[in-house]
Every structure is written in structure tokens, then in C-alpha cells.
């Protein structure tokens, strides 16, 4: 059993969305920029993408979990810490160490990545509206946990190996936590979250293993 009702969850979302407006617009703009950087490759493209993902995780951890979700669920203190930690890891690996590289690919992992990114940014809100949860009574791209996680998995599937396994741990944990809660709360657009980690992590690991084998052969 969850420590809050579905009505309380939706009311908390309304309060959050109304309280942070128009940050949602900026978040969507950052998401579009991240996608554009996969094709338009300026010198700092990889660092910019990593920075955008880090901002989304840090914002969601602090603004959503700590400042709003804690009002109905004290476990959000822990959830927020996980999101802040993921944002810090992304910033360290991608910005400080410059060890997170992205590139275009036509393999199976990239195709799934396209699907995840498209779902998080476009299909996710449309499905929410179709099922009767229009704005502001809906999780919004870039500023709430589930679409941020799906979007991040999408970009990890575009990442060039090696990809640090530390980057995968927290998104995978949240895919199980948030995805399970989606069924209890009746948020169908979040159902994909439950399988996103199970699908994305093996594909990322397989790409990493394949790169290691290629390195051995050469």
C-alpha cells in the first residue's frame, strides 16, 4: 500500500506544475536541444548533453521530490537523494571527466533509444491527455521522475562504449520503484518505465561487451 491516495498524488502534481511554471517550457527546450546535439555536433556537444541530463535529475530531485512530493510521502527524501546523486554522477562523468560520449548509430540499441526519447518527450504527454490526465494533472517531461528516467535511458542507448555502470544503477532502481507505483496509481503513461530499465540496461551492457571484444580482436 502507498502512504497516499491517487487523489492526493494528482493534487500534488497540480500544485507542483502550477508552482514551477514556466520551467516546463524550458525543460522541453533543453530536451529538444539535447536531441539536436546528437546530429549537430559542436565541440562541446557531449558535455552539453550530459549537462542537460544532469540538470533534469538535479531539478527533479530537489524541486519535485524534496520540495513537493515529501508533502505526501516522506520516502521522497530518499528518492530525492537518489536523483541528486544521479545528477552529480552525470555532471562528474560527463562534464568534469568528459567520459560520456554520444553518437548516431543504426543498431538495435539506438533504435530502442529513439523510441524511448520519442516516448518521453512526445507520446508520454499525449497518452496522459488521452487517458484523462491533461496538464496540470500530469507528470511533465523534464521535471518529473518517470519521463526524465525514460529520456535518460534513451540517451544512454546512444552513448558510445564504455558507459560507466554507475550511471545505470539509479535509473534502473527508479524504473522499478516508479514503474510499480504507476500501476497502483493508475498512471498508464508510466507503465513503460517498469520495463525501460529491464530493456535498456542489457542493451547497454551488450554494446559495452561488444566494444570490448572488438578491442581484443584488434
Summarize pLDDT for 38-49 with one digit per residue, the tens.
988 888 999 999
Average pLDDT of the chain is 91
Measured between alpha carbons, how far apart are the two ends of the chain, in Å? 54
Is 85 contained in some domain?
yes
In this model, does residue 34 exceed pLDDT 60? yes
In this model, does residue 216 exceed pLDDT 80? no
Say how far apart CA 152 and CA 2 lie, in whole Å: 26
Residue of 216, 215, 177, 210 whose CA lies nearest to 196: 177
The residue whose grid cell reads 502512504 is 3
The residue whose grid cell reads 531539478 is 59
Lowest-confidence segment of 10-24, 72-86, 199-213 by average pLDDT: 199-213
Q: What pLDDT is recorded for position 212?
A: 46
Say how far apart CA 134 and CA 82 lie, in whole Å: 28
Higher per-residue confidence, 205 vs 37: 37
How many other CB atoms sit within 10 Å of the CB of residue 184? 11
* φ, ψ of residue 51 in degrees (nearest 5): -65, -40
Q: What pLDDT is recorded for position 134?
A: 87
Cross-strand bridge partners of residue 102 = 159
Bond from prior residue into 195 cis (ω within 30 degrees of 0)? no
Q: Give all strands (DSSP E) within the chain, no chain letters.
A: none
Higher per-residue confidence, 5 vs 105: 5
Say how far apart CA 165 and CA 156 lie, in whole Å: 11
What are the C-alpha distances in Å from 169 to residues 84, 135, 207? 13, 31, 17
How many structural domains compose the chain?
A: 1
191-217 vs 166-185: helix crossing angle, rounded to 10? 160
Is 152 contained in some domain?
yes
Tell me which residue range forms the domain holding 196: 6-217
Tens of pLDDT, residue by residue over 111-143, are 999 999 999 999 999 998 998 888 999 999 999
- Whether the CB-CB separation of 189 and 121 falls below 8 Å is answered with no
Tens of pLDDT, residue by residue over 142-189, are 999 999 999 999 999 999 988 888 899 999 999 999 998 888 888 899
Higher per-residue confidence, 176 vs 103: 176
Lowest-confidence segment of 11-15, 81-85, 211-215 by average pLDDT: 211-215
Is 164 contained in some domain?
yes
Exposure letters 194-208 (e unless 16+ CB within 10 A, then b):
bebbebbbebbeebb
Say how far apart CA 61 and CA 45 lie, in whole Å: 24
Quote the pTM value: 0.94
Is 1 contained in some domain?
no
At 142, list the grid cell: 523534464
Q: Could you say which DSSP state residue 164 is in?
A: -
Amino acid at each position: 500500500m502507498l502512504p497516499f491516495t491517487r487523489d492526493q498524488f494528482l493534487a500534488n502534481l497540480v500544485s507542483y506544475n502550477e508552482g514551477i511554471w514556466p520551467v516546463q517550457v524550458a525543460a522541453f527546450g533543453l530536451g529538444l536541444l539535447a536531441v539536436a546535439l546528437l546530429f549537430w555536433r559542436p565541440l562541446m556537444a557531449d558535455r552539453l548533453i550530459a549537462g542537460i541530463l544532469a540538470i533534469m535529475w538535479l531539478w527533479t530531485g530537489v524541486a519535485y521530490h524534496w520540495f513537493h512530493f515529501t508533502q505526501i510521502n516522506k520516502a521522497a527524501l530518499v528518492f530525492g537523494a537518489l536523483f541528486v546523486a544521479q545528477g552529480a554522477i552525470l555532471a562528474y562523468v560527463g562534464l568534469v571527466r568528459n567520459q560520456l560520449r554520444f553518437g548516431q548509430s543504426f543498431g538495435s540499441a539506438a533504435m530502442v533509444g529513439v523510441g524511448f526519447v520519442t516516448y518521453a518527450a512526445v507520446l508520454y504527454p499525449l497518452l496522459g491527455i488521452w487517458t484523462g490526465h491533461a496538464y496540470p494533472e500530469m507528470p511533465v517531461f523534464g521535471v518529473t521522475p518517470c519521463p526524465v528516467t525514460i529520456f535518460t535511458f534513451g540517451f544512454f542507448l546512444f552513448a558510445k562504449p564504455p558507459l560507466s555502470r554507475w550511471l545505470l544503477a539509479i535509473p534502473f532502481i527508479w524504473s522499478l520503484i516508479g514503474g510499480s507505483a504507476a500501476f497502483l496509481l493508475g498512471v498508464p503513461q508510466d507503465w513503460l518505465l517498469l520495463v525501460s530499465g529491464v530493456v535498456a540496461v542489457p542493451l547497454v551492457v551488450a554494446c559495452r561487451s561488444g566494444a570490448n571484444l572488438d578491442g581484443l580482436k584488434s
